[in-house]
């Protein structure tokens, strides 16, 4: 019985009416917990807590406009983070095109600008959730999943910090759905827009290319290259040198508890090199699988989005919002529910483990990372089932 229960975590839970009822009950329970989380997060986010990362973006845009280094540290706008055993400045880490875009954040008072950005972010996320729920849910499950989506830790902490992820989540969702519909031209351009600001998602077009889905891959890379040339033409090569130098020297932040990547887990375990090894093995394994197996475009996309987080030096909890299409695509499987529940745990709860013993930080303090590992295992099992299905069908016939 225990073996069957464990196996059911990774296999289809929607087997007849009992399976559908269990899935609906689990989603309802998750939605109830999500309502409590939303109620607790609203006061935290709307409180007067400063600009945080949004301040770094304003400083970056202001510096670029003045001919200074957009990747410098400019107190008091650049946030300074201090926790037990951890201290770091948080400058802008986005690619050079951000130095142009962030100048728009300084048109009005930064506090007012942050409020405007919140509205843009919430509208973008709302659109992304609506598009996904129209595709993947219906009936009683639809409002329950909507509540869960708006309780995700990445959503609330993105607002709290004034981060920029949500419009890019919308881009990823649109690209996913267009790929599913066969619109590879539009999807490729959208993916290019995404990786122009979030380069870790370059895993997506690379795996698509290796799997034989060449058109969206080539268009994505071309679009990103064109956008990357804009700051090069305006600021010269120095801006790219400044950015790369900052990225190369930012490894100390890997240990931060909201970093859900392999690098984060390895750093908290005291074995930082292991994170690089695991990331390389994951990327090489996926490259070989894509090239030799030629999987369907959505299967490739699911692994690509996940690997973009796990293999990144900094896979913040906010990046888990990009996994919404992956989780909803597989919502009939219990591992998606479990991972989805883990990703709603509020960030302040996880940050409370700073200063705790290493084992505690590696277990409870790394729950976001373990949720991603669970998704990875679930995707591997799902892909194995997909590959075996035609063989089993032929045998039964």
- pLDDT tens profile 106-154: 999 999 999 999 999 999 999 999 999 999 988 889 999 999 999 999 9
Within 8 A by CB and 6+ apart from 202, the residues are 195, 221, 224, 308
What is the domain range of residue 255?
8-50+109-396
**Phi first, then psi: what are they for 58, rounded to 5°?**
-60, -45
What's residue 392's pLDDT?
44
Mean pLDDT of 289-318: 97
Domain membership flag for residue 323: yes
Q: How many residues are recorded in the chain?
A: 397
- The more confidently predicted of residues 395 and 213 is 213
Neighbours of 11 (CB within 10 A): 16
For the record, the structure tokens of 150 come out as 């708006």
Instruction: Assign 312 to helix, strand or coil.
Output: coil
Domain membership flag for residue 221: yes
Structure confidence by residue, pLDDT tens digits, 17-51: 666 778 888 899 999 999 999 999 999 999 999 99
Domain membership flag for residue 288: yes
Band of pLDDT at residue 367, cut at 50, 70 and 90: very high
Structure confidence by residue, pLDDT tens digits, 236-287: 999 999 999 999 988 889 999 999 999 999 999 999 999 999 999 999 999 9
Domain membership flag for residue 339: yes
Q: Which of 201, 238, 205, 209 is nearest to 220 (CA)?
A: 205
The pTM of this model reads 0.94
Tell me if 231 sits within 8 A of 196, measured CB to CB.
Answer: no
- What is the DSSP secondary structure assignment for residue 384, as one 8-state letter? H
For the record, the structure tokens of 2 come out as 């225990």
Residue 50: which region, alpha, beta or left (left: phi > 0; alpha: psi -120 to 50)? left
- What value does the mean pLDDT of the chain take? 93
Tell me if 55 sits within 8 A of 110, measured CB to CB.
Answer: yes
Domain membership flag for residue 61: no
Domain membership flag for residue 142: yes
Task: Give the torsion sign (CA, 376, 380, 383, 389).
Answer: negative
Q: Which of 200, 194, 173 is nearest to 97 (CA)?
A: 194
Number of domains comprising the chain: 1
Domain membership flag for residue 264: yes
Domain membership flag for residue 326: yes
């Amino acid at each position: 019985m225990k073996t069957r229960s464990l196996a059911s975590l990774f296999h289809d839970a929607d087997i007849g009416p009992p399976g559908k009822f269990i899935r609906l009950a689990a989603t309802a329970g998750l939605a109830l917990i999500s309502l409590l989380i939303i109620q607790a997060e609203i006061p935290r986010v709307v409180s007067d807590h400063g600009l945080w990362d949004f301040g770094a973006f304003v400083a970056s845009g202001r510096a670029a406009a003045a001919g200074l280094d957009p990747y410098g540290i400019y107190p008091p706008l650049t946030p300074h983070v201090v926790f037990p055993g951890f201290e770091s400045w948080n400058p802008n880490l986005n690619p050079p095109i951000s130095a142009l875009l962030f100048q728009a954040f300084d048109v009005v008072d930064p506090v007012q600008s942050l409020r405007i950005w919140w509205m843009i972010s919430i509208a973008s996320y709302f659109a992304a959730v609506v598009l996904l729920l129209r595709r993947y849910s219906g009936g009683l499950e639809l409002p329950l999943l909507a509540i869960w989506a708006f309780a995700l830790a990445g959503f609330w902490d993105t607002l709290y910090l004034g981060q920029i992820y949500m419009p890019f989540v919308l881009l990823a969702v649109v690209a996913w759905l267009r790929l599913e519909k066969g619109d590879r031209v539009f999807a490729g351009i959208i993916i290019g827009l995404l990786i122009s600001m979030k380069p870790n998602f370059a895993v997506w077009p690379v795996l698509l290319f290796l799997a034989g889905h060449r058109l969206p891959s080539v268009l994505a890379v071309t679009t990103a290259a064109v956008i990357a040339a804009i700051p090069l033409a305006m600021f010269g090569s120095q801006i790219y040198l400044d950015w790369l130098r900052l990225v190369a020297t930012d490894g100390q932040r890997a240990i931060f508890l909201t970093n859900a990547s392999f690098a984060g887990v390895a750093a908290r375990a005291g074995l930082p090199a292991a994170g690089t090894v695991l990331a390389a093995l994951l990327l090489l394994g996926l490259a070989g699988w894509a090239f030799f197996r030629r999987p369907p475009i959505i299967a490739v996309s699911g692994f690509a989005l996940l690997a973009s987080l796990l293999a990144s030096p900094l896979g913040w909890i906010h990046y888990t919002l990009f996994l919404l299409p992956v989780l909803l695509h597989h919502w009939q499987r219990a591992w998606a529910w479990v991972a989805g529940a883990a990703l709603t745990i509020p960030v302040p709860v996880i940050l409370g483990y700073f200063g705790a013993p290493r084992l505690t930080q590696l277990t409870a303090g790394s729950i976001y990372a373990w949720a991603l590992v669970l998704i990875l295992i679930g995707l591997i099992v799902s892909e194995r089932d997909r590959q075996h299905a035609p063989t089993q069908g032929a045998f039964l016939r």
